[in-house]
Amino acid sequence: MKSGFSGHLVGIGGVSMSPLAEVLYKMGVPITGSDMNDSDAVHRLRALGIDVKIGHKAGNIGGARFIIRTAAAREDNVEIAAARKAGIPVFERAEAWGYIMRGYKNAVCVAGTHGKTTTTSMTTHILLAADADPTVMIGGTLNKLQSGYRVGAGDVIVLESCEYYNSFHSFFPTIAVVLNVDADHLDFFKDLDDIKASFRHFASLVPENGHIVCNGDDANTMDALRPLGRPLFTFGTNEQASVRAVNIEQNGSGSSFDVLYNGALYCHVILNVPGRQNVMNALAAAATAITLNIPPAAVTEGLLDFTGAGRRFEYKGSVKGADVYDDYAHHPRELHALLDAVESLGYDRVILAFQPHTYTRTKAFFDDFISELKRADLVFLAEIYAAREKNTIGISSRDLAEKVPGAVYCPSFDDIEARLCALAGKGDIILTVGAGDIYKVGEHLTGKAASVG
C-alpha cells in the first residue's frame, strides 16, 4: 500500500474501519468502500468525498489496487471473492493499521481484555495536554475529539489494540501496554493459556529499545509476560511496581491518588470518573507517559480533564428523577467493576437493563453473569446480541432470568423501556449495559423525557 494506489474497504462503516478510511484518505490514498448498512459514519465518509456503496457487490471493488476488509468479511464475501479472482491483494484491517504505525517513531498499542478504550482515551488526553499532537485510534467515541480517532503531525500514534483473532499480532508497537489478561473470546481462543500466549507474542513484537508496560497487580498478565525474559515496566499498587498508585481516595464520583515512579513522587492525579478500575487505567496511562518522557504536569492536567469515553459509564440524562447511564460492559469482570463503581455513589436503587453479547460468551460465563446480576436491585434482560454468531447453542437471556431472583426477561426494547419508565424515581440509577445496541433504550428514555419537559 502506498500513496497513488487506490484502495477499497469492505465494511467501511465499522467502528475502526471508518477512521482507517479517513486516515488513509488524509494520507493522500484514494479510497472507496462498501458496507451492509447506511450510518452516520458512512455519511461522514461521503461528506469527505469518499464513494461508499451500500451492499456488497463484486463490481464495488472497481479499479482498486488493494482491498482492506473488516474481520466480519470472510472469504465467502462477494467482494473478497472477486478480489481473489482478480489477483488483488487483500489485507486485514489490523495489517493496515500496522502499516500506518510503522511511519511513527513511537507506536503505543494499548491492549488488555478490559479497559482498552478508557486507557487509550486517557493516554490521548495526556498527550494532548503535552502538545504532542498524536495520531489516535480508539474503539469508541472520545468527547474531546468528538470522534474515535485523530490524525496528528507528531511522532506518536496511539491505538487501541484488540486480541480477538490475534489482530494485534499485525502491529508494530514500540510501547506495548497490557492492562490485564482474562478469559474471553472463547469462540476463537481455546482457553486462558491460549490467550496468555497471544498476549505474550504481542509483547514480543516490541523492539529491544522499546517498552512493555504491564499490570504488575494482575497475575495472569505477569504469567503471560514473564517467560519473555525481558524487562517489564510494571504499574500497580504493589511495592515492586515501577509506577505505583498510593494514597488512593474515593471522592464521590471520582478519586485521587499519588503516582510514584521508582519510589519518588511523580505527580498527583484527580480523576472525574468513578471506580477502582479507572485508577488502574489512569495509572497505566501515566506509566505510558513516563516511557514517552511526558512532563508530570501534563499527566495531571490530562487526567483531570478526562470525563469518560463514549459508552463507558456515560451519562445519558434523567427520567422521572432517575439518572440514566450507559456502559459497554459485556464480560462478568467488567460488570463487576461497573457495579462496584456504582455502589460507591450512594443511589437508593440500582436498576439494570442488561443485554448479553454473543451466545458463546453467555454460555462460557453463565454462572459468573448470574452472580453479578444478582447484585442489582432490579434486573431486566434483553435477548442476547448475536453480533457475529448464530445461536447453535440454544441459549437465551430467558435462561439467565430464571436464575436471578426477580429478574424479568424482556423480548423487546419497547418492553424494557416501558418497565423502566414505570419504575423510575428519584434516588434511582438506571444502567443500560452491554456491547450491543441496548444504549438505544436509555437514549430513547431520556430523549422522551426531554421532549416532554
Q: Is 14 annotated as a binding residue?
A: no
CA distances from 79 to 82, 88, 251 (A): 5, 11, 53
Q: What DSSP state is assigned to residue 384? A: P
User: For this structure, is 320 an active site residue?
Assistant: no
Query: By C-alpha distance, which of 319, 332, 324 is closest to 369?
Result: 332
Q: Long-range contacts made by residues 19-26, C-beta under 8 angstroms, separation at least 24?
A: 19/137, 19/147, 19/148, 19/149, 20/68, 20/93, 20/96, 20/97, 20/137, 21/45, 21/50, 22/48, 22/149, 22/151, 23/100, 23/135, 23/137, 23/149, 23/151, 24/96, 24/100, 25/49, 25/50, 26/151
Residue with cell 458463546: 360
DSSP run (H or E) holding 125: helix 116-129
Residue with cell 489477483: 87
Output phi, psi for 71, to 5 deg: -60, -25
Q: Is 234 annotated as a binding residue?
A: no
Cell of 289: 507517559
Q: Is 118 annotated as a binding residue?
A: yes
How many residues belong to the chain?
453
- Catalytic hit among 32, 79, 123, 160: 160
Q: Is 114 annotated as a binding residue?
A: yes
Output phi, psi for 370, to 5 deg: -60, -45
Q: Is 117 annotated as a binding residue?
A: yes
- Catalytic hit among 32, 70, 79, 117: 117
Q: Is 392 annotated as a binding residue?
A: no
340-369 in b/e form (b: 16+ CB < 10 A) is ebbeeeebeebbbbbbbbbbbbbbbbeeeb
- Cβ partners under 8 Å of residue 232, min gap 6: 212, 214, 216, 222, 225, 226
Rounded distance between C-alpha atoms, residue 271 and residue 256, angstroms = 6
Cβ count near 1 (within 10 Å):
16
User: For this structure, is 249 an active site residue?
Assistant: no
- Cβ partners under 8 Å of residue 128, min gap 6: 134, 144, 302
CA distances from 440 to 314, 369, 407 (A): 13, 22, 20
Residue with cell 512493555: 212
User: For this structure, is 334 an active site residue?
Assistant: no
Q: Is 374 annotated as a binding residue?
A: no
Contact 142, 124 (CB under 8 A): yes
Task: Name the binding residues for ATP.
Answer: 112-118
Query: Which residues are annotated as part of the binding site?
Result: 112-118
What residues are annotated to the active site?
A: 116-117, 160
